[in-house]
Amino acid sequence: MDIATCQLITKFLLAVWSLVSAAEWAANLALFRPDGLLSWDVLKLRRRLSRPEGTHTVLYSHRAFLAVISGRALAGAALLAPSANAWDFACAGFIFASCLYVSRRSVFGSDGSDQMGMVISLGVAIMSAGIAFGDRNLAFVGVFAIAGQATLAYFVAGAAKLVSPTWRGGHAMARVMSTRTFGHPLAARIAAGKPRLSHVLCWFVIVTEMLFPLVFIVPPTVAIVALACYAIFHFANAYFMGLNAFVWPFLATYPSVMLMNATVRSVLGWQ
């Protein structure tokens, strides 16, 4: 895979995530109204904003939030164009800025999909700038950023579970599945009825997440199969846990991971 193809696939997946996340935030606009759960009238009191300025009130109003989210959706729609173009940098850059804005404005309610969306948008912006200016090294920095954060995401998630007695003891899966927020009645019944299976699944998640860095050195065919398994893991999370927005940004890291696989194996003289 070359960088241009990598950028094309990544920006398409970023576009899908941008459209879905913008639509979901827009559906929650009531949270940001003056009488909402995330009212700026309260959030402006936080420590680092102890001297609120008039501009903050306008900048973080629910109307400004809607404008930023609408801009994210438009930028996402523009990224659906089936070829690399001069707008890609601006659109990905805007999505990145919108991620910082939403994170700053919402304080509570963001999740890992928002973080990975931010990573992907920054990576695509750098890749697009490199392609636009004919600077292959610059484009590769974007690939490196995405692949690096993807590796940290999986490895840290696995390591954090490894130090947890709840995960090591095999209870985490059953407990999460027994909630209405992140669980599923069928999965909860299976986990409760088959504790041994639940235990094995907990360790399976820990081990597979921590083994993610190996995708950079295994043969490309093995890496593709491994990434397909990680993708199935995200689809399962979307179905059983309702984590629909995680699918797109995490799949968007895979082209960069494959490109890094080729680079690392080439540096090691393995291909």
Q: Please report, as residue ranges, which positions from 42 to 61 form the binding site for other proteins (by CB under 8 A).
A: 42-43, 45-46, 48
Binding characters for other proteins, 128-167, by CB under 8 A (x = yes) = -xx--x-x-xx-xx--xx--xx--xxx-xx-xxx-xx-xx
Place of tokens 């398994």: 229
Question: 37, 222, 229, 268: which one contacts other proteins (CB under 8 A)?
Answer: 37
Nearer to other proteins, 225 or 236 (CB): 236
Please, which of residues 160-179 interact with other proteins by CB under 8 A? 160-161, 163-164, 166-167, 172, 175-176, 178-179
Nearest CA-CA partner of 12 in 60, 99, 76, 87: 76
Please, which of residues 177-196 interact with other proteins by CB under 8 A? 178-183, 185, 188
Closest distance of CB 132 from other proteins, Å? 12
Stretch that binds other proteins, among 16-24, 67-75, 87-95, 215-223 (CB under 8 A): 16-24
Closest distance of CB 88 from other proteins, Å? 16
Mind giving me the DSSP string for the chain? --HHHHHHHHHHHHHHHHHHHHHHHHHTGGGGSTTSTT-HHHHTTSGGGSS--HHHHHHTSHHHHHHHHHHHHHHHHHTTSSS--THHHHHHHHHHHHHHHHHHHHSSS--HHHHHHHHHHHHHHHHHHHHHTT-HHHHHHHHHHHHHHHHHHHHHHHHHHHT-HHHHTT-HHHHHHTSTTT--HHHHHHHHH-HHHHHHHHHHHHHHHHTGGGGGTS-HHHHHHHHHHHHHHHHHHHHHH--GGGHHHHHTTHHHHHHHHHHHHHHTT--
Please, which of residues 88-127 interact with other proteins by CB under 8 A? 100, 103-104, 106-112, 115-116, 118-119, 126
Closest distance of CB 5 from other proteins, Å? 20
Please, which of residues 210-249 interact with other proteins by CB under 8 A? 235, 238-239, 242-245
User: Residue 24 interacts with other proteins (CB under 8 A)?
Assistant: yes
Nearer to other proteins, 58 or 100 (CB): 100
Closest distance of CB 30 from other proteins, Å? 9
Nearer to other proteins, 7 or 106 (CB): 106
